[in-house]
Amino acid sequence: MSQNQELYHLDKLIGFVGDDPAAVANMVGIFLQTTPELLETINLSFNQKYAEKIAKAAHSLKPTLDVFGIDSLHIIIRKIEQKARAKEIDNELFELINKLNSVLEDVFNSLKINYL
Amino acid sequence: MDAFRIFIVEDDLLYGEMLRRHLTLNPDNEVYLFRNGEECLKNMYREPNMVSLDYSLPDMSGLDIMRRIKKDFPEIPVIIVSGQEDISTAVTLLREGAYDYFVKDDDVKDRLWNVIKKIRENLQLRSEISYLKEEIGRKYEFRNVIKGNSPSIKQIFSLIEKSTKTNISVSVTGETGTGKELVAKAIHYNSNRAKKPFVAINVSAIPKDLIESEMFGHEKGSFTGAVTRKIGKFEQAHGGTIFLDEVAEMDLSMQTKLLRVLQERELTRVGGNDLIKIDVRLIVATNLNLAEEVKKGNFREDLYYRLLGMPIELPPLRYRGNDIILLAKHFVDEFCQENKMKKLSITESAQQKLMQYPFPGNVRELRAIIELAAVLTDTDKIDESHISFNAVDAAENLLMEENTLAEYNRKIISHYLQKHNNNVLLVAKKLDIGKSTIYRMIKEKQIVL
């Protein structure tokens, strides 16, 4: 099973579900099903300036990104949640969400190639 | 211990599934995943050993669910696993009775295992405490448990006392109802193993196919229906005593396995590979003659010698003389106390009736007879009319008296004379004996008309 070390690493996930390729693939499947939904919520809510929804979705996304070892988003997702809770719907938040979208898009593509 | 049941309440499908899979890595855990609070509450009848709650759920907050769980099931530990890093939330939850509070970070796995270990240890301790309380409450000082002053029972006391000082295996034999398990418990609770478990197995009561798993346990998936790991009775009895009742009923293949476990002092669970060290004291009981079973080829000779240890043969009640009355009085007192009745006495005639009866069911039967008599009487006395032996076969009783032939002759002739108004000629004809035989017995006062 190859991994893109720059984008993500699945050590933590394997630590949770065991070194079982089927279990890992199953978890990747769930990730690819649930994460785009949360991402979409964040994007839509930003457009609608619905800070609370952004905060909630970011809060849900936080542990998932940690478990999938997407280290480049570790600080970004926390900043998004923090700013949304503070109702700071500004350009900085826009940039952070853009970064989130871009990294996750790469992660989705890579995971699809490697695991599906 | 049986399966450790864990409820995970988590609306994040990925995280919930990940926790479920992680906790299921231990085959002892039986893990249920619920996506919201209501589902969890609906399933509380399953009595989980632990609930892991996400703080933010779609239908209610973790705090609300925890309050509802604590209201109805205060003993069940609730853990909060949350993305919420706010310390004040954690403090509130802990104050409200959460067992622990974890943030969904890199340490969550280790924290979960630690907390599960702690909860399991607590459960084990709680179950041991209640077990000990229950057993100690019964006061297993053997002279309190096994009543009697007859020479035969005094000899049993002496053997029990000797057996408590070492770990020697003990084989208890005796007719049904003589108190074999009571002796086994008396030995255990007066030995230095008293604070460890006493585990009894009735070999004859367990289906042949299940006995190995019952005794030595099994691993998850080792056979159809083995949905979780099961700890066998030998492991449960570790450090304590295992009592194998009706051991003669064990089939030869199981005898071989038992012998190996006793020789090696280690076992392997069904479907497992690990060798598990065990330290148990063995007490066996049977109402069959094991030596005879060896001769017949039904019992392994090598196992017989290993089990024999100190043999204790319990006397039938009918050979214990005045112990019958002593026990009868003890049972009536106990029954009156348990049922909050006034104290009852046993009349002389009732005592005589009891003394003449052979008690094929031994002490167990005496207890039943006395308890029935205590219920039947309307006064503060149990008399002979309340003593009923209807439950057993009279002819069998007569044979169990083990009299001489002359004594049986006397009893039969007396019975016929009574039945036929002392008509000697008629009785002689019915029994096909000479009338002079009957007249001689009357003259010699062997028979009193």
Separation in Å, CA B282 to CA B207, B217, B287, B309: 21, 18, 17, 9
Average pLDDT of B243-268?
94
Per-residue confidence (pLDDT) for residue B63, from 0 to 100: 87
- Asked if A13's CB is within 8 angstroms of B19's CB, the reply is no
Contact A59 B14 (CB under 8 A): no
- Residue A32 has a pLDDT of 95
Percent of residues, chain B, with pLDDT higher than 70:
94
For residues A71-98, give the mean pLDDT.
95
The per-residue pLDDT for range B371-429, each reduced to its tens digit, is 999 999 989 999 989 998 865 555 666 666 677 888 888 888 988 887 788 899 989 99
B291 has a pLDDT exceeding 60: yes
- CB-based contact A17 B22, cutoff 8 Å: yes
Q: Within its chain, how far is the Cα of B43 from the centroid?
A: 32
Beta sheet of B310-313, edge-to-edge order: B198-202, B241-245, B281-286, B170-173, B310-313
Q: What is the pLDDT at residue B419? A: 75
Is the Cβ pair B18, A13 closer than 8 Å? yes
Q: Kindly report the pTM of this predicted structure.
A: 0.52
Which tokens sit at B368? 């039943």
Residue B40 and residue B202: Cα distance in Å, rounded?
39
pLDDT at A4: 52
β-pair type (B266-267, B276-277): antiparallel
Residue B138 reports pLDDT greater than 70: no
pLDDT for residue A115: 82
Q: pLDDT grade, residue B92 (50/70/90)?
A: confident
Is pLDDT of A99 > 90?
Answer: yes
Nearest to A34 among B14, B22, B104 (CB): B14
How far apart (Å, rounded) are the C-alpha atoms in residues A74 and A65? 7
Distance (Å) from the alpha carbon of A10 to chain B's nearest alpha carbon: 13
Nearest to A60 among B12, B25, B105 (CB): B12
pLDDT tens digits, A10-58: 999 998 888 889 999 999 999 999 999 999 999 999 999 999 999 999 9
Domains recognised in chain A with CATH numbers: 11-115 (1.20.120.160)
Over 70: is that where the pLDDT of A3 sits?
no
- Which pLDDT value is given to residue B134? 60
pLDDT in tens, A53-84: 999 999 889 989 999 999 999 999 999 999 99
Does A30 sit within 8 Å of B13, measured CB to CB?
yes
State the amino acid at position B48 in one-letter form. Answer: P
For A57, the closest chain B residue by CA position comes to: B12
Quick one: pLDDT band at residue A1, thresholds 50, 70, 90?
A: very low
**pLDDT of res. B290:** 87
Report yes or no: B217 and B175 within 8 Å, Cβ to Cβ. Answer: no
CB spacing of B109 vs A16 below 8 angstroms: yes
CA distance A116 to chain B (A): 17
Across the range B194-220, mean pLDDT stands at 90
Judged by CB atoms closer than 8 Å, whether chains meet at B13 and A23 is answered as: no
Measured CA distances, B327 to A100, B54, B234, B369 (Å) = 84, 61, 34, 12
Which residue in the set B18, B56, B106 is minimally distant from A17, CB to CB? B18
Q: What is the mean pLDDT of residues B78-99?
A: 83
Q: Nearest residue on chain A to B108, judged by CA atoms?
A: A16
Measure CA of the first residue to CA of the last residue in chain A; give whole Å. Answer: 11
A-chain residue closest to B54, CA distance: A60
* Best of B13, B15, B18 to mutate (most A CBs within 10 Å, chain A): B18
A59: chain B residues, CB-CB within 8 Å: 56, 83-84
Cα–Cα nearest to B362, from B146, B154, B161: B146
Residue B321 scores a pLDDT above 60: yes
Nearest-angstrom CA–CA distance, A49 and A43: 10
Determine the pLDDT at residue B444.
Answer: 87
pLDDT in tens, B39-65: 999 999 888 999 999 888 878 888 899
Q: Which residues of B touch A74 (CB under 8 A)?
A: none
Under the banding of pLDDT at 50, 70 and 90, the label for residue A2 is very low
Give A23's contacts in chain B (Cβ within 8 Å).
21
What average pLDDT does this structure show over B222-232? 84
Mean residue pLDDT across chain A: 91
| β-strand partners of B281 | B241
Where residue A6 falls among pLDDT bands split at 50, 70, 90? confident
* ipTM, 2 dp: 0.85
A63 and B104 within 8 Å at the Cβ level: the answer is yes
Name the strands in the sheet holding B50-53, side by side, starting at the edge strand that comes first in the sequence.
Answer: B29-34, B4-9, B50-53, B78-82, B100-103
Three-state DSSP state, A94: helix
Chain A: closest CA distance from residue B83 (Å): 7
Which whole number is the average pLDDT over B9-31?
90
Sequence-ordered list of residues with C-beta below 8 angstroms from that of A49, at least 6 positions apart, any chain = A89
Q: What is the pLDDT of residue B83?
A: 76
Provide the mean pLDDT of chain B.
Answer: 88
pLDDT at B130 over 60: yes
Nearest to B56 among A15, A34, A59 (CB): A59
Q: Output the pLDDT for position B85.
A: 65
Give chain A positions within 8 Å (CB) of B15.
Answer: 63-64, 67
**Closest-CA distance of chain B to residue A11, Å:** 11
The residues facing B286 across adjacent strands are: B173
